[in-house]
Amino acid sequence: MRLTHVGGPTLLVEVAGWRLLTDPTFDRPGRRYAFGWGTSSRKVTGPALEPADLPPLDAVLLTHDHHADNLDDAGRALLPSAPVVVTTASGAARLGGTARGLRPWQTTVLEAPGRPSLEVTATPARHGPPLSRPIAGDVVGFALRWEGQRDGVLWISGDTVLFGGLREVAERLRVDTAVLHLGGVRFPVTGPLRYSMTGRHLVELCELLAPRTVVPVHYEGWSHFAEGRAQVERELARAPEVQRTVRWLPRGEAVELAPV
């Protein structure tokens, strides 16, 4: 398995002959984006790679389509080049085309000649505090399974806080590699409320999941990310068993992980 962190939540996943891209964000930095309900954010770091630098894609895994820090204008322009876009049911209705919409625990199968079938199962996510879904919108994570896996799924959390749905993931799935969306997102208009996981949440979740490898994403590049790598590492220092599992990927460089 080879992972390339483009920036923010955008990750190129190459596994079992498949090339998948998560949450495409390729706009240049400097612009402010409105997220609705009086919230906004400025992009402060550009992507480590351009769309032209990517290999041909087999699919895009889009945790949600309605926030620019997960799908910006350049990322949206890339979507038609992917044969399949897997996303939320509401997002697929908005995007149309090749988009396949999944609700939590629904599965779709990607198939192509000469490659093992790849199962993509949507997992629960809640992009904010209780009762925030009508405002924050639908989000899903993704669990990936393919023939030849030895010890669990590759799981991508999506933008989510730590809530009962993630504890359900720990109960229902054996997770080998966990790609976790962090950032501890906050907005001035809602004060201390969080809209994505913090370093403390990472530690608590990993104590439940016990993954072999943890890959943080979605912790840098935007002004509404309240926790960066330094804050997360301070929490990890208090949990050495979890700390040993964490792989911080260099931006723009392919990193080989041991096969799952």
Distance CA 104, CA 152 (A): 19
One pLDDT digit (tens) per residue for the chain, 260 residues: 999 999 999 999 999 999 999 999 999 999 999 988 788 999 999 999 999 999 999 999 999 999 999 999 999 999 999 999 999 999 999 999 999 999 999 999 999 999 999 999 999 999 999 988 888 899 999 999 998 887 899 999 999 999 999 999 999 999 999 999 999 999 988 889 999 999 999 999 999 999 999 999 999 999 999 999 999 999 999 999 999 999 999 999 999 997 54
Domains and their CATH numbers in the chain: 2-251 (3.60.15.10)
Give the global pTM: 0.96
Distance CA 235, CA 133 (A): 28
Q: Are 69 and 139 contacting, i.e. CB atoms less than 8 angstroms apart?
A: no
| Cβ count near 241 (within 10 Å) | 11
Q: Are 203 and 236 contacting, i.e. CB atoms less than 8 angstroms apart?
A: yes
179 is written with which tokens? 């790609």
Residues paired with residue 143 on neighbouring β-strands, in sequence order = 121, 155
Q: Are 126 and 165 contacting, i.e. CB atoms less than 8 angstroms apart?
A: yes
Of 100, 99, 111, 197, the C-alpha closest to 146 is: 111
The secondary structure of the chain in percent helix, strand, coil, rounded to multiples of 5, reads 25, 30, 45
